[in-house]
């Protein structure tokens, strides 16, 4: 019987395991190898790791975790989490089961991109969504934003002072005259035609529309949606917020005692949505681990 099984080994799960291991709490860390920033070559806005490849960040963390006798790591997915009298049974993809007193869900989210041919291949390399993570790398260059209008307005507000030129392309449906006017009023150029494809070119990205092509240094995606990577919130009937994320309290507790959550799949009700970043995921992982330790120490 483990004190905790941490499902997910991105920044949230890695940090949760580190905190538990340092406090000599028996911990199993599970990883199915599907990271949100899995295609990203260099992460940014991570102090002391600005520009570090995420794969290197994870490898360093794994090497450091291996020093702690109480942490076991397995590269296997979890399939189900079932409450028991003593805690939880976790069924692994290889058919084995593991028993635990607590579970920390750190399985993250996946990005469902708009249906633009070529976009998936550029994701994390030349196509992004987070100005804090990837805006500065486009300083003084031209970028494209792929609609829709409200989110595009937000991206223009954040990126306008960094890049030299922004052209906004509608996806699937053209902008209304009012939307185009608003976007132009913010200083962007607006394409009347929807984007039909994107592809890498020598210096950035080639954007195609019905009548032609143009090149930009990079693309920011204003549409798309987030999906839970794993089914455990549904399986366990956890309370979700209107954002679709798992509701947690300050110490990562979910609505089900013994189940904690950390990282991109969860946030407190006081926030509008998940504050998706490497450092905030790691911080949430540490808080959840502290929550588990509090629970283990409770009389
Ligand atoms: C294109 C892109 C670029 C980004 N760039 C930056 C950046 O520069 N700086 C920054 O701070 N943030 C960046 N982010 C955001 C950052 O990647 C996330 O905020 C962060 O990875 C969230 O960490 P997490 O631990 O919650 O989830 P993840 O990193 O997604 O990790 C999820 C973990 O859960 C595991 N998992 C999932 N399901 C199962 C299962 N059933 N069983 C076992 N394991 C499972 C996965 O294998 C993985 O180990 C970027 C995001 C994207 C999409």
Express each pLDDT in 90-125 by its tens digit.
999 999 999 999 999 999 999 999 999 999 999 999
For the chain, report the end-to-end CA distance as a whole number of angstroms: 19
* Residues 205-215 pLDDT 10s: 999 999 999 99
CB of 80 within 6 A of ligand 1: the answer is no
Classify domain 114-221 by CATH architecture: 3-Layer(bba) Sandwich (3.50)
**Which residues, including other chains, have CB under 8 Å from residue 50's CB and lie 6 or more apart?**
43, 44
CB of 33 within 6 A of ligand 1: the answer is yes
**Which residues, including other chains, have CB under 8 Å from residue 110's CB and lie 6 or more apart?**
34, 36, 226, 227, 228, 229
Average pLDDT over residues 152-161: 96
Which pLDDT score, from 0 to 100, does residue 147 have? 87
* Residues 180-226 pLDDT 10s: 999 999 999 999 999 999 999 988 999 999 999 999 999 999 977 89
Q: Is the pLDDT of residue 70 over 90?
A: yes
DSSP string, 168-227: EE-SSSPPPHHHHHHHHHTT-EE-SSPP-EEEEETTEEEEEETTEEEEESEEEE---EEE
Band (277; pLDDT cuts 50, 70, 90): very high
CB of 274 within 6 A of ligand 1: the answer is no
Cβ pair 143, 220 in contact under 8 A: yes
**Which residues, including other chains, have CB under 8 Å from residue 73's CB and lie 6 or more apart?**
9, 17, 28, 29, 31, 62, 65, 66
Q: What crossing angle do the helices spanning 149-159 and 177-185 adopt, rounded to 10°?
A: 10
* Residues 55-66 pLDDT 10s: 999 999 999 999
Question: Full-prediction pTM beyond 0.75?
Answer: yes
Kindly report, as residue ranges, where domains of CATH 3.50.50.60 are found in the chain.
Answer: 2-111+225-297, 114-221
Cβ pair 101, 296 in contact under 8 A: yes
The highest-level CATH class for domain 2-111+225-297 is: alpha beta
Average pLDDT over residues 161-184: 96
Q: Is the pLDDT of residue 148 over 90?
A: no
Which pLDDT score, from 0 to 100, does residue 57 have? 98
CB of 105 within 6 A of ligand 1: the answer is no
CB of 7 within 6 A of ligand 1: the answer is yes
* Residues 71-92 pLDDT 10s: 999 999 999 999 999 999 999 9
Nearest CA to ligand 1 atom 50: 37
Half-sphere exposure in the Cβ direction for 131 (13 Å, CA):
18
Half-sphere exposure in the Cβ direction for 127 (13 Å, CA):
25
Integer Cα distance of 292 and 3 in angstroms? 8
Q: What is the mean pLDDT of the chain?
A: 97
Residue 287 CA to ligand 1 centre (angstroms): 17
- Residue 37: exposed, middle, or buried by beta-carbon count in 10 A (0-12, 13-18, 19+)? buried
CB of 34 within 6 A of ligand 1: the answer is yes
């Amino acid at each position: 019987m483990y004190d905790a099984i941490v499902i997910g080994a991105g920044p949230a799960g890695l940090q949760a395991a580190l905190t538990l291991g340092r406090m000599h709490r028996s911990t199993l860390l599970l990883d199915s190898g599907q990271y949100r920033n899995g295609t990203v070559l260099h992460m940014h806005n991570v102090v002391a790791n600005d520009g570090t490849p995420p794969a290197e960040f994870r490898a360093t963390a794994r090497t450091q975790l291996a020093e702690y006798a109480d942490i076991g790591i397995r590269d296997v997915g979890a399939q189900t989490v079932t409450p028991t009298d003593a805690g939880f049974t976790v069924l692994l993809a290889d058919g084995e089961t593991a028993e635990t007193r607590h579970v920390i869900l750190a399985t993250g989210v996946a990005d469902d991109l708009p249906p633009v041919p070529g976009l998936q291949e550029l994701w994390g390399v030349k196509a992004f969504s987070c100005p804090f993570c990837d805006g500065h790398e486009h300083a003084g260059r031209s970028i494209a934003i792929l609609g829709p209008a409200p989110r595009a307005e937000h991206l223009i507000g954040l990126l306008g002072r960094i890049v030299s030129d922004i052209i906004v392309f509608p996806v699937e449906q053209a902008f209304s005259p009012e939307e185009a006017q608003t976007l132009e009023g913010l200083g962007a150029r607006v394409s009347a035609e929807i984007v039909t494809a994107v592809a890498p070119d020598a210096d950035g990205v080639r954007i195609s529309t019905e009548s032609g092509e143009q090149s930009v240094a990079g693309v920011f995606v204003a549409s798309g949606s987030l999906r839970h990577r794993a089914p455990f919130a549904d399986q366990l009937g956890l309370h979700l917020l209107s954002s679709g994320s798992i509701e947690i309290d300050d110490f990562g507790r979910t609505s089900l005692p013994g189940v904690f959550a950390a990282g991109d799949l969860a946030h407190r009700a006081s926030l509008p949505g998940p504050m998706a970043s490497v450092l905030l995921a790691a911080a949430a992982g540490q808080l959840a681990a502290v929550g588990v330790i509090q629970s283990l120490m409770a009389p």
